[in-house]
Structure 1
Amino acid sequence: MDTRQLRTFVAIAEHGTFARAALIVNLTPSAVSQQVHSLEQELDTQLFNRDSRPPSLNLQGLKMLETAKQVLALVDETRGVLSGKQITGTLNIGSVRTSTIGLLPRAIVALRQEFPELNVNLRVGMSSTLISDVNADRLDVAVVAEHSGVSRDLLWSPFIREPLVVIAPPGTPPMPVQQLLETLPFVRFGSNVPLGAMINNELARLGIAVKDIAEIDTVPAIVECVAAGLGASIVPNIAVRENGRDMLTLPFGEPQVFRQIGMIHRPSSAKAELLTALHNKLAEVAGEFGVYRAEPSLRRS
């Protein structure tokens, strides 16, 4: 088995046919078939269902595809380290919308300043979809809030632990949190994600009866509504940390409630060192609430 066979195998899986893969790896279709045949002989198993046209990956082929991608990524990274070249390649990142408020773009910019030859693809989506894509190796990492649906095969590590705060329109006179939330109309975070459940559970525990005026599924839109005077709400500290727009801000919860955002990825990822660097860039831009982890050295030219 060699990396040429693995690259050909991955090209077939990604492009659908032996003929298209041949164009990608710059071989003839017959040479592609020979490489696949040799790989199957060495593994002593068939990787394709040849009853279909074009041939499709069978169960063993799907398992091998994941392994092949990991091996090739590790080989490419090792070559870069041993040659002393800068980190290259592509880092595929998925993120929920909440954690993209300022943090992730700034962390990516800082990461690319350190590794200018690195390409980054960013996709925003729902936590469950992003976690599934990490599992299926379609993403290198997902940036999500603390999540109960993470399998044991994935690693979740927080890079920020921040408090939740009550926000009220500019000019609101100071008053106890319960009085404020029960007096002003309430702009509810209506997204079906852990943050929404965390807020609702604490309101119920404290016995605070709010009067909803709006239900909105993005934190930035909630902040805009509160700043415009629509009512009060509860958001993560980062949403108003740099520009509170003179809104009244009070701690939420007794004791104050904190939420965590972290990275989910495979522990055996060939890009593990690069992911650690991204993690610590995120912790850095998170400021006082950042959570760091030990950072392996990455060689640079």
Structure 2
Amino acid sequence: MDTQSLRAFLAVAEQGSFSLAAEQLHLTQPAVSKRVAVLESQIGARLFDRIGRHIGLTEAGHTLLPRARQILVMFDDTQRALANLHGEIGGSLSLATSHHVGLHRLPPLLKAFTRDHPAVRLDLRFLDSEQAYQEVLDGGLELAVVTLAPSPSQELVTVPVWVDQLYFVCSREHPLAACEELPLSALSDFNAVLPGELTFTRGIVTETFAQEGLRVHVSISTNYLETLKMMVGIGLGWSVLPETLIDDELYCLPIRHRPIERPLGYLYHRGRTLSNAARAMLEVLEQTRREQAD
């Protein structure tokens, strides 16, 4: 049972497609199929049911999936530990970030990091914060710089670097824009456009209302804050957005309530051996955190 076959199996299981797995692994589809076939031959069982265009895990596939992840995490961890002995900062660094953090917080840090460590191959992935969180937890990523979970897993080290203050906003033509002062309850009478139901940011907002015994009526959801800004701007509802997205198109509502804040920062698995490249990135993030605190 070789690691290449296990990686091909995992990619197909996660993507639900041999062609998408091939793209992810930078291989041809026949090469991925061959590696999965080799693995099936080794364990003596089919791993996938192929019905039409649908691909699903068999019972053997479901049994192998968590063990394959564990084997590859242990293998990669061992490789990093051995590579770290040389003290060189190079190799690949798998780093995930959300679109908003990646656009508005990370660019100067990445510029400094790539300038100081040109031998590092940066594998940067743009994911929803929740997906990045799970990928780090499962061992698929070394680091993530995202919105932090309100109740993080004890298996993860999570460190806030920035604090995003979220502002209640609407379009300048919205009925709420005519009010000079508003209680939080006034927003419950109007539709909201907010991030998806399972996002950390949505949870922070709805919990704020729930503490006051209020409900939020969400008419439209999207995980892209820039899209939310557009929908607010054309009058589809009120929302909460960070300061980085607020401009003259939007009206900041004068809500009588403490500001809603969300922590942005980095996270990694507590039990993982970090590469020298990852440790170098943490130094950059820690420097930024200290500067924010001053």
TM-score tier (shorter): 0.5 to 0.7
SS at match of 1:79: coil
Residue 223 of structure 1 aligns to a residue in which SS? Answer: helix
Deviations along 1:61-87, one digit per CA (max 9) or x if unpaired, are 865543332232233233244xxxxx2
Contact 2:184–2:256 (Cα < 8 Å) also in 1: no
Q: Give the alignment partner of residue 70 of structure 1, picking from 77, 94, 97.
A: 77
Q: What pairs with 1:92-241 in structure 2 (closer than 5 Å)?
A: 92-147=94-149, 150-170=152-172, 172=177, 175-178=180-183, 182=187, 186-192=191-197, 193-206=199-212, 214-240=220-246
Q: CA offsets per residue over residues 160-189 of structure 1, 9 Å max, x none?
A: 122211123358456214389549954420
Report the AA paired with residue 72 of structure 1: Q
Question: Which residue number in structure 2 is paired with residue 41 of structure 1?
Answer: none
Aligned to 2:264: 261
Residue among 33, 45, 52 paired with 2:44: 52
Q: Which has the larger radius of gyration?
A: 1
Residue 140 (structure 1) shift: 0.9
Alignment CA distance shift 1:225-1:94 (3 Å): same
Q: TM-score, normalised by structure 2?
A: 0.63
Q: Following TM superposition, by how much is the alpha carbon of 1:139 offset from its aligned partner in structure 2, in angstroms?
A: 0.9
Deviations 1:122-141 (A, max 9, x none): 22334444333223332111
Q: 1:10 to 1:157 in 2, by over 3 A?
A: same
DSSP-derived class of the 1:191 partner: coil
Structure 1: how far apart are the matches of 2:109 and 2:269? Answer: 20
Query: 1:43-68 deviations in whole A, cap 9, x for unaligned?
Result: xxxxxx955389x9899886554333
**Which deviates the most, 101-110 or 203-212?**
203-212
What amino acid does structure 1 have at the position aligned with 2:114? R
- The percent of aligned pairs where both chains have the same amino acid is 15
2: CA distance between counterparts of 1:101 and 1:174? 33
Measure the CA separation in 1 of the matches of 2:241 and 2:256.
Answer: 12
SS in 2 for 1:259: strand
Distance 1:145 1:69 in 2: 26
Give the 3-state SS of the residue equivalent to 1:138 in structure 2. Answer: coil
Could you list the runs of 5+ residues in structure 1 that have no partner in the other structure? 1-7, 17-48, 82-86, 293-301
> What is the CA deviation profile of residues 77-110 of structure 1, one whole-angstrom value per residue up to 9, with x for unaligned ones?
33244xxxxx221111223344334223443233
